[in-house]
Amino acid sequence: MDKYRIGIVGMGTMGRNLLLNIASHGFSGAGFDKDATKVRLLEQEGAGMQVKGFVDVTAFIDSLEKPAVIILLVPAGKIVDDVIVELQPLLAKGDIIIDGGNSHFTDTTKRVDQLEAVGLHFFGMGVSGGEEGARYGPSMMPGGDKEAYQYVQPVLEAIAAQVDGEPCVTYIGPGASGHFVKMVHNGIEYAIMQLIADTYEIMRVAQNWGEDKIQETFAEWNKDDLKSYLLEITADIFAYKDTDGTLLVDKIKDEAKSKGTGKWTTQISTDLELPIPTIDLAVALRDLSKYKTLREKLSTVFERQKNDKPVFKDAAFKDLLKQSYTFGLVTIYSQGIHLLSRASEVYNYQLKLNEIARIWRGGCIIRSSFLELIRKGFEREAGLAHLFLDPEVSSILKYTEQSVRTLVAQCITSGVSVPAYANTIGYYDAIRSAELPSNLIQAQRDYFGAHTYELIGKSGVFHTDWAHPSGNIPV
């Protein structure tokens, strides 16, 4: 092969597997990495395929068809900028750079402007699915330079996961929209994982279930309308025994790590003043888990209540738990989608929420049966203000609402920690309230800081000397 259709910088797990995926679909690919060991691994795994590895960046660029198409799969941050600086002198106007890593969307916005100014096409593309997805079909979220996307569209559609004959990739929108959507995807992922962890806690602490019953329940849920990738892998985890025959997950230290994308989602939601409390909570609980020594000390001061008998009657419990999980799942997706809707308005991303739900149905970590319902909801009404307003979604919430109330109330009474479940019902009750007690907060703010307030049915802004009442003073 003299010239290669696609080049990838970064021959780690994701880069190498994505390049092999490209070659498996009939497109030639070149891979570059300064680590010769990774390049050799590419050529070993890609033996007989149209792939070639390079450790020399000039030779790598020279091997590509024109316009050159280069996908970066390197760690987010300064490394992306360093790679672009290294590549730029070797590229010609019209060449295309695609950042396929988990870059912060604000960094992507800057890079779009910088590279456009020198005649290079650039777009950010969220890639979800992990190692397996990269090799056999990920979900991809490209956003930015539409002309550049259209040039590589045939390749991306070929290598993407397929659901109902449709590729799990679409043009997301202008600017950094692709990386923004991937960031929110990861925030949703954090929250669903915490909801599953809460479910595990209920099973083992409230009900004293053994590993077999826990595994069977997760596997059973994954066969019906709750089918999802995260439930699938959870069932697999509870089936995996260590060499001594005991459950491996029980030996893993209870300190959850993260790479920052969940935190970014929380931070930007605060900037946009759009609440996603269950996602925020999931980020906070990962941080809390890291204080292992402190938690151990506090456990001796505040002894945990022991439930010698199951908290719930087993006959009705499985249905109660399943309905509660459904309620939580719907709420988490709804919060994430609401944030996307708000960002689309603020940043003019022109997001098609039905298309985002469609491409999340396969390949990605948060894929689930429920995403088809979301897709249909936004196809019925593209401008839906909140997913809770969709008739099918509202029916699910109404049907499962009482179950989650019962679950949370009894768990709290019995000392079983279920923060994600409690948070979802709290969010539901707040967002469906026509009147919140926030009028009191406004009065307090005006009292101590003269921050003013507005009155119902009366125009203008007012301030009151609360300690010496003399009427409402217009400002």
Q: Which residues are catalytic?
A: 182, 189
Structure tokens at 160: 């993407």
For tokens 């020198």, name the residue: 118
Whether the bond between 67 and the residue before it is cis, its omega within 30 degrees of 0, is yes
For tokens 């009292």, name the residue: 447
Structure tokens at 37: 């060991």
CA–CA gap between residue 152 and residue 31 (Å, rounded)? 17
Structure tokens at 194: 């915490």
Structure tokens at 47: 């033996």
